[in-house]
Structure 1
Amino acid sequence: MEKVTVEDVSNRPNPMGVHSTRRPVSRALGAEHVALVEYELEPGEEFSGGLHTHHDQEEIFYVQEGTATFEVGEDREHVTVEAGQVIRFPPGEFQNGHNHSDEPVRALAVGAPGARHNWSDIESLAPCGECGEETSHDVRPPDEDGVMQLVCRECGTEMF
């Protein structure tokens, strides 16, 4: 049995600088089969660094305070999730959540199976400077400086 107080979990923001508060609760608990992360998003911040999917993991977001807006699917449908509401993304569904409001958002994200990213199963949609359009990209884990890398699946161009 492990027990922690969420506020005492070390803050580990996304290396892309897209949010200021991210507490990996499952890591603090030593969980191996589920990921649990608390986010606090200030206005203009987002959960991740862009539209992405986990091919090996489903994700659930429970908005505890505020209002989050998610871009869903390659057509980027906007779905609003308010305090007390929950949204689920199955493996393979593209999504990205934002705080477009003037108030902070506090939310819990749950991912399963697995408590850690399998980086080869993450795919991001991003503009490629070489291809001249939005393409599918592989996501490489952060390097020693915390920089993640995207690699275009069409042409192999690496972006930081």
Structure 2
Amino acid sequence: MGYRIVDPKTVEPTGDRPCELRRLSEPAQLSSVALNQFRAAPGEQIPLAYHYHEEQEEAFYVLSGTLSVETPETDITVSAGSLFVADSESPHRAYNPADAATDVTVLALGAPAVSGDAVPYEPANE
């Protein structure tokens, strides 16, 4: 058996994102899922680009604030306490609008924990 407690505040943010990203999988010793906490100020986006995953399913649980998600069909607003799910092969771009009143904090879960399956999505390619 194994149990762990991870305080996200003790995990150093990653420096290569347009918002604050704390990668929680490694400190939690998770191997089957990717677990991350994002905090995006107004005008910041969560992923690096509009994208989809070839294999990975992705879920965003909004801890505080309001998350906006752009999809090919519509823009979606996700309130605190709600969960947004993107199936594999489903393009999306999660962000905090520039006119938002507060930061948005999101717990993101991706499974399986694969690396390199994010594919940039260009809406004009439809």
Question: What SS does the corresponding residue of 1:28 show, helix, strand or coil?
Answer: helix
Q: Give the Å deviation of 1:126.
A: 3.9
**CA 1:10–1:43 in 2, change beyond 3 Å: closer, same or farther?**
same
Residue-pair matches, total: 122
1:9 corresponds to: 11
1:106 corresponds to: 105
Q: Which amino acid aligns with 1:104?
A: D
2:115 corresponds to: 118
For normalisation by structure 2, the TM-score amounts to: 0.88
1:23 corresponds to: 22
| Per-residue Cα deviation, 1:100-132 (whole angstroms, up to 9, x for no partner) | 112110110000111xx421x2211248xxxxx
Q: Distance in 1 between matches of 2:105 and 2:32?
A: 23
Question: What SS does the corresponding residue of 2:121 show, helix, strand or coil?
Answer: strand
Is 1:54 equivalent to 2:53 in the alignment?
Answer: yes
Query: Where do residues 1-160 of structure 1 align in structure 2 (5 Å cutoff)?
Result: 1-13=3-15, 15=16, 17-19=17-19, 21-72=20-71, 75-100=72-97, 101-114=100-113, 117-119=114-116, 121-126=117-122, 134-135=124-125
Q: Once superposed, which parts of structure 1, at least 4 consecutive aligned residues long, lie more than 3 Å away?
A: none
Q: Distance in 2 between matches of 1:76 and 1:123?
A: 18
Seq. identity, %: 28
Q: Which amino acid aligns with 2:60?
A: F
Structure 1: segments with no counterpart, 5+ residues: 128-133, 137-160
Q: Which amino acid aligns with 1:112?
A: A
More moved, 36-45 vs 21-30: 21-30
Q: Based on CA coordinates, which of the two structures has the bigger radius of gyration?
A: 1
After superposition, the CA RMSD in angstroms is 1.8
Q: Which amino acid aligns with 1:69?
A: S
Higher relative contact order (CA 8 A, sep 6+): 2
Q: Which amino acid aligns with 2:119?
A: E
Whose strand fraction is larger, Structure 1's or Structure 2's?
A: 1
1:154 corresponds to: none
Q: Distance in 2 between matches of 1:76 and 1:102?
A: 26
Structure 2: segments with no counterpart, 5+ residues: none
Q: Distance in 2 between matches of 1:5 and 1:81?
A: 24
